[in-house]
Structure 1
Amino acid sequence: MRAGDHIPRKRFGQHFLADHSVIDAIVRAIEPRAGQSMVEIGPGLAALTQPLVERLGRLTVVELDRDLATRLRQHPQLQVVESDVLRVDFTQLARDAGAKLRVVGNLPYNISTPILFHLLDHVDAIEDQHFMLQKEVVDRMVASPGTAAYGRLSVMLQWRYAMEDVLFVAPEAFDPPPKVDSAVVRMVPHAEPAAVDAALLSELVQVAFSMRRKLLRHSLGHWLAQRGLTDAFDLHRRAEEVPVAEYLELAARVQADQT
C-alpha cells in the first residue's frame, strides 16, 4: 500500500512509517518467527505489516480506519479486526489463537497511554509488546526513581513489565513527519509480579503523584490516614523518590488491611 493512495487522517493520529532502514531495525528488534501469534495495532499502510507477515505466515491486525481496513482485507495472510483498539479483547484473541500474544504497533500519540493501560488489563495473555511511541512517553515508561520523568505511568507499567528503550526514531522516518521524536520500547511481562489489586495501586499512585513537588505527607499522608495507616510509610519524601517496589509493598499492606 502506498502513502499517496491514502490521505493521513489527523483525528486518527496517522503518521505512516516510511523509512525502510528504521522498519528493518524494528523488525530485527521484534524477531518475529514462523507460527507465532502476533497482533499489530494500527498497521496503516502495512509498512511494518508486510515484513512481519512474511516471517510469521499469518498476522492479526487491528485497524480503526475503514478505508485502510478494507485494503488490508485484500491480503490473504491477514486477519483484520476493524475496531477501536480500546474495545478489543486481547485475552479472547489469545484464547482463539491458543497461545499468548506478541503485540506490536506504531501507536497513535493522542491515545497511546489509554492503549497501554487497556493492554495492562490483558497482560496475562501477552508474551511481549513492542511499540513505537512518542519519545517523551517512552522516557516516562522506563524512568527510574529520582528523575523528572518518573511518575504514575512508570510505576503502573514497571509493576507488570520489564521494559527497555530499544530504538530512537526521528520525525523524518514518517509521512507526514510528526512534530516530536519517537522511540521503540520493548515490554516483557514479569513472570511473578507482586500480587496487588490494580485499581487500588492505581488510586494510591495517582494520589501520591497528585502533588509531586510536595512531600508525600501532603497527599498520600491524608489518603493513608483515612485508612488508619498513618505509620505505614515514610512520608517525608516526594513521590518521585519512592521506588516501584515500595509502592507495591504499601499497596499490599493497604489491601491486607482492607480484607
Structure 2
Amino acid sequence: MNHAPRKRFGQHFLHDPGVIQRIVGAIAPRRDDTLVEIGPGLGAITGPLLERLDHLHVVELDRDLIPHLHTLGPPGTITVHEADALRFALDSIPGPRPLRVVGNLPYNISTPLIFHLLDQAAQIRDMHFLLQKEVVERLTAGPGTAAYGRLGIMVQYRCRAEPLFHVGPGAFRPPPKVDSAVVRLTPYETLPHPARDERLFARLVQQAFTRRRKTLRNALQGLALVEQIEAAGIDPLHRPETLSVEAFVRIADVVAETAGAAPADQP
C-alpha cells in the first residue's frame, strides 16, 4: 500500500524483516490468545501475528489505513477498531482474559498511552512495545540512575519491566532521529508492594520528581512531614531518585496511616 506517513500521528512504519521476526518471536503468540495490536499502521507486525493467531484485534486511528488492514488476513480473522488508543477501553474487546497487548507506539503518545494501559492492567497478561530507546531506559531504570523517575516507578509498581533489544532508525520508514528498543511489561498478578492509597502514592511520586534535585524533606513538602519520612525508615535528606518503589510505598503508607494530621509547611 502506498501511504505517506503522517507527522500528526507520529507514524514511522516498521519494514525490517529481521526486526519484525524478532518482535513476533519475543511475543510468541499462541493460537487462542486474545491479542490487541495498537497502531498497526501498514501491518508489518499484523500480518506475521495473523499467521500465528486464530483472531487479532487492532486499534488504528488513521482511517485511511482501515481498508488495507481488513485485507491482511482471511475473512473473520481480524477485527479493526477505528479509535484513539488513548481513549480506547480494553473491556470493549470480546474474548477470554487476560489480554495480550502489542504495538509500535508513536513516540508522541507513548507515555500517556502506557499510563492509560496501566489503569487497565488487571485485564492484561503482558505488553510488548517498540518505543523510543530513551523511553525504554526510563521504564526499566533502577534507583540512582539518570533515567530513573516517575514513569519507571509507576510502571514498575504494577509490572515487571524487561528491555529486550535495540532497533536502529533504518528499520523504519521514514527513519526517526532517535534509536528505538523493544520492551516487555508483565503486570503482576499480586502487587509485590501494594500501597494503602494508590492515589496518594501516585501524587507523592509525581511531586517528588517535579523536585527531583531537592532532598525528600523539601521535595515532599506539603504531602509528607519529616517525621513521616523518618517513620518509613528513610533519611529525609536523601533525594527522590535514590528511593526504590518499595520505599516510596512505605512513605505513602505512613502518610495514609496518619492522615488525620495534615502535613504542615516545613522550612
**TM-score range, shorter-chain basis?**
over 0.9
Q: Amino acid of the residue matched to residue 239 of structure 2?
A: R
Structure 1: give runs of 5+ residues left out of the alignment: none
Quote the Cα distance in structure 1 between the aligned partners of 2:18 and 2:190. Answer: 36
Q: After the TM superposition, which parts of structure 1 deviate over 6 Å for at least 4 consecutive aligned residues?
A: none
8 Å contact 1:164–1:187 — kept in the other structure? yes
Q: Amino acid of the residue matched to residue 45 of structure 2?
A: L
After superposition, the C-alpha distances for 1:185-207 in whole angstroms (9 at most, x for unaligned) are 00111121133233222210011
After superposition, the C-alpha distances for 1:11-35 in whole angstroms (9 at most, x for unaligned) are 0000000000000011111101111
Between stretches 161-170 and 196-205, larger displacement belongs to 196-205
Q: What is residue 168 of structure 1 aligned with on the other side?
A: 166
Q: How does 1:6-85 map to 2 (within 5 A)?
A: 6-75=3-72, 76=75, 77-85=77-85
Q: How does 1:89-238 map to 2 (within 5 A)?
A: 89-93=89-93, 96-193=94-191, 194-196=193-195, 197-225=197-225, 229=228, 231-232=230-231, 233-238=234-239
8 Å contact 2:41–2:60 — kept in the other structure? yes
Structure 2: give runs of 5+ residues left out of the alignment: 261-267
- TM-score w.r.t. length of structure 2: 0.90
Quote the Cα distance in structure 2 between the aligned partners of 1:246 and 1:230. Answer: 10
Identity %: 51
8 Å contact 1:221–1:235 — kept in the other structure? no
User: SS where residue 165 of structure 2 aligns?
Assistant: strand
8 Å contact 1:221–1:230 — kept in the other structure? no
Quote the Cα distance in structure 1 between the aligned partners of 2:47 and 2:255. Answer: 48
Quote the Cα distance in structure 1 between the aligned partners of 2:99 and 2:119. Answer: 14
- TM-score w.r.t. length of structure 1: 0.93
User: SS where residue 224 of structure 1 aligns?
Assistant: coil
Between stretches 195-204 and 237-246, larger displacement belongs to 195-204
Q: What is residue 255 of structure 2 aligned with on the other side?
A: 254
How much has 1:258 moved relative to structure 2?
3.4
Quote the Cα distance in structure 2 between the aligned partners of 1:255 and 1:89. Answer: 30
How much has 1:210 moved relative to structure 2?
1.5
Quote the Cα distance in structure 1 between the aligned partners of 2:229 and 2:158. Answer: 27
Count of paired positions: 253
How much has 1:53 moved relative to structure 2?
1.0
Q: Which has the higher helix share?
A: 1
